[in-house]
Chain A
Amino acid sequence: MEKGKGIMGSGRRWAVDFSDNSTAPSSRDIPDPPGFTRASVNQDDSTVSRQKKDAESNWKAQKAWEVAQAPFKNLLMMGFMMWMAGNTVHLFSIGITFSALWQPISALQGVGKVFEPYKDNKVDLLGPKLLFIALNLGGLALGVWKLNTLGLLPTHASDWVSSLPPAQEVEYSGGGIPL
């Protein structure tokens, strides 16, 4: 900016003089904006930043807990949709069940990414993360249970027995009416 000053000179109306006024409170050529009190400027820098950081970490913790509880609403909605889908094997019911199974899995894969904006030295993310994982596992369990009620899981004895070949017989007998 000195270059600008040097070339243009003080005759130019819009030459801006960037001088730092914050450390020289005695300069009164620029009036204060309305509502501004000089008292707050007098405080120490470290306290300000500490208070700011405290507020920020509180906010982050609160947000993290809220994000951890978000799957619960998803769970309820998924549960309702699966109940609507019915007990028969149709396109809709299969689609809902598989999306109910896929959503928790993809959410569990992206746990780190979900909680990244709230990463902070002071905030303990373990609690919210565990809650998030637990709720998603609950959603997965719901999907698996729905799969079971549709009859697609091999939980009955007939699923394992129905392909067994007949047992061989030790004795052999033949004969009949004489020729």
Chain B
Amino acid sequence: MLKLKGTLMLASPQDIAAIQSMRLKNSEKSKMTRDHNGFRKLLIVLTRAGKLFALHTGDGHIVWSHLLQSLQKSKVCQHPIGLNLYKWQVPHHHAMDENPSVLVIGKCGPSSDAPGALSFVDTYTGKELSSLSLVHSVAQVIPLPYTDSTEQCLHLLIDADKHAHLYPKTPEAISIFEREFSNIYWYSVEDDNGIIKGHALRGKCTGEVADEVCFDTRELWSIVFPSESEKIIVTVTRKLNEVVHTQAKVIADQEVMYKYISRNLLFVATVALKGSVEIGSVTPEESWLVAYLIDTVTCCILHQVTHHGSQGPVHAVFSENWVVYHYFNLKAHRYEMSVIEIYDQSRADNKDVWKLVLGKHNLTSPISLYSRPDVITKSQSYFFTHSVKAIAVTSTTKGITSKQLLIGTIGDQVLALDKRFLDPRRTVNPTQAEKEEGIIPLTDSLPIIPQSYVTHALRVEGLRGIITVPAKLESTTLVFAHGVDLFFTQLAPSRTYDSLTDDFNYALLLITIVALLAAIFVTWTLSERKELQENWR
């Protein structure tokens, strides 16, 4: 009725508003079911106050919100702080029976040995499934890549006494964990005294807190940064669920470089002690920035580079086999962005084509980090004009699409910069083969193209972080920027190469096919008839 009025141009302004809101509610993007392309998702956000919200990605409306009881002030928990969210259970096989759930971890006090509190929340309805108040503190949470038969993800909670507790506390989880016992390590970064320590698991806990799921750990290695000259400011690792498509990178002239893809690499940036204050209050001679790439299982420092005359703050992102970090160069009075790429040199001997054809290579066999890796790194630095609040990288389901760096600038906007600008193999005069590969000629600063702002003319006030989530469609990634404002968009770094445009003319295609088939049939019969007449002449 209202729509009829609208089409006949008889609607009043309130009617027009009502029609708009009806259209928005019923539109494709706000439906509460899953999308074929994976665009409709629920964003679960946890605030510092312990309130959990679910936002719909279609138009951002709040589907449910829940103030978690276990994280509220009570006798048990005096000063609760909401800490972090982890994926707990994503049932693929029982999708009709169970909903996915998340694990919310909080701690009951500001000190580091305050007891923790766990809460399991159903993501579709917002109801709290169960909650646990722990006797031990929570210093770190390590999500393990194993799931049990009910598709719950195993988590390891490390407390302040360096004991590891396994959750869920089921015997099946314990048996899965004990099978992989010797392959699990963890590291801790203590930035106030500049020490990184690596630990391994030892066995069941001894002592008064003996529990089935409590495990002792022992220290394997430690790296002590000289505290009078270096202070750790940033550590970054790869995202856990990142998918890398291939391990080989084909460069010009059909040469191959093998990427060193290891999830256990840690990027650490340290600055000189004086350089950890505001920019410009130290002279270039007394400030430097050292970047390390450390293997957290064997404590091997794979790469170390010193930037003299530079200081923090440093923002870094680590993906696949490269790290990009942003800092301030005091000598040039400009911000700089550097890229480090690591390649595995030990696999470069696989050049015999016959062996590769027959499959007699060990390129896909599992590798252990205890075999000494032979790596080479390539790095380059470029000037960048903006100051940066956060950096993230786009991620897709299969990792085939080329990546873009999402840079949150100090003007509260998000800029998408193609990773090809940060390629350490860029040279001033690329050869013909390199140009065919797509290497951009080297310039001293990174171009900022005004059309590549993801946030168009908007600003995400108080930008704090950028998160990217893969959609089911390979060419698209979902970007969520949060701060005081929340901003969500879909990005296609290589344009949408795997879906047809919206106005694709299916009718024309069908008509063309039918017309061609008819023409084939007609000309076939005509030619047969003519041939028959010729033979009868």
Contact = CB atoms under 8 A, between A and B. Distances in A.
Interface of A: 151, 155-179
Given A161-B248, A166-B244, A172-B184, 14 more contacts: A156-B254, A157-B254, A166-B247, A166-B261, A167-B363, A167-B365, A169-B262, A170-B369, A171-B370, A172-B145, A175-B142, A176-B189, A178-B190, A179-B83
Contacts of B139: 178-179
A164 B187 contact: no
12 contacts: A156-B254, A160-B353, A161-B356, A170-B366, A170-B367, A172-B180, A173-B184, A174-B140, A174-B143, A175-B142, A178-B139, A179-B84
Contacts of B366: 167-170
A158 B190 CA distance: 43
Nearest to B362: A167
B353 A156 contact: yes
A148 to B, nearest CB: 12
A88 B186 CA distance: 53
Interface of B: 83-84, 105, 107, 112, 138-145, 156, 158, 180, 183-191, 198, 235, 237, 240, 244-248, 250, 254-256, 259, 261-264, 296-297, 350-353, 356-357, 363-370
Contacts of B145: 172
B33 to A, nearest CB: 32
Residue of A158, A169, A174, A179 ringed by the most chain B CB atoms within 10 A: A174
Contacts of B246: 162-166
Contact of A174 (B186, B262, B352, B368): B186
Nearest to A157: B351
Nearest to A156: B254
B356 A175 contact: no
B438 to A, nearest CB: 15
Nearest to A151: B254
Contacts of A173: 184-187, 198, 263-264, 296-297
A179 B188 contact: no
A170 B140 contact: no
4 A-B pairs with least C-beta separation: A174-B142, A173-B185, A160-B356, A175-B186
Nearest to A168: B366
Contacts of A164: 246-248, 363-364
Which one of B138, B261, B363, B370 has the highest number of Cβ atoms from chain A below 10 Å of its Cβ?
B363
Contact of A171 (B105, B142, B185, B351): B185
A158 B254 contact: yes
Contacts of B297: 171, 173
Contact of B144 (A159, A172, A177, A178): A172
B369 A161 contact: no
A64 B6 CA distance: 88
Contacts of A168: 366-367
Nearest to B248: A161
A19 B118 CA distance: 127
A171 B353 contact: no
Contacts of A165: 245-247, 364
A167 to B, nearest CB: 5
Interface of B is mostly: mixed
A171 B367 CA distance: 9
A174 B364 CA distance: 23
A168 B367 CA distance: 6
Contacts of B189: 175-178
B250 A158 contact: yes
B107 A158 contact: no
B264 A171 contact: yes
B138 A157 contact: no
A158 B363 CA distance: 13
Nearest to B197: A175
A172 B198 CA distance: 12
B83 to A, nearest CB: 5
A50 to B, nearest CB: 41
A155 B353 CA distance: 7
Contacts of A174: 140, 142-144, 156, 186-187, 240
Contact of B191 (A156, A161, A167, A177): A177
A161 B237 CA distance: 27
Contacts of B107: 179
Quick one: which of A162, A169, A175 has the most chain B CB within 10 A? A175
Interface centre among A165, A173, A176 (most CB of B within 10 A): A173
A167 B140 contact: no
Contacts of A172: 144-145, 180, 183-185, 263-264
A170 B255 CA distance: 28
B111 to A, nearest CB: 11
Contact of A169 (B138, B256, B352, B367): B367
A153 B145 CA distance: 40
A151 B252 CA distance: 13
Contacts of A167: 247, 261, 363-367
Contacts of B248: 158, 161-162, 164
Contacts of B365: 167
B235 A176 contact: yes
A85 B423 CA distance: 35
A159 B356 CA distance: 9
Given A157-B353, A176-B235, A177-B235, A162 B250 contact: yes
A87 to B, nearest CB: 11
Nearest to B344: A167
Contacts of A157: 254, 256, 350-353, 356
Nearest to B365: A167
Nearest to B160: A178
Nearest to A170: B368
Instruction: From A151, A167, A170, name the one whose CB has the most chain B CB atoms within 10 angstroms.
Output: A167
Contacts of B184: 171-173
A163 B141 CA distance: 35
A176 B196 CA distance: 9
B264 A162 contact: no
Among B105, B189, B356, chain A packs the most CB atoms within 10 A around the CB of B356
Nearest to B199: A175
Contacts of B143: 174
Contacts of B259: 166
A178 B250 CA distance: 40
Point out which of A159, A164, A171 has the most chain B C-beta atoms below 10 A from its C-beta. A171
B140 A179 contact: yes
A175 B187 contact: yes
A163 B244 CA distance: 11
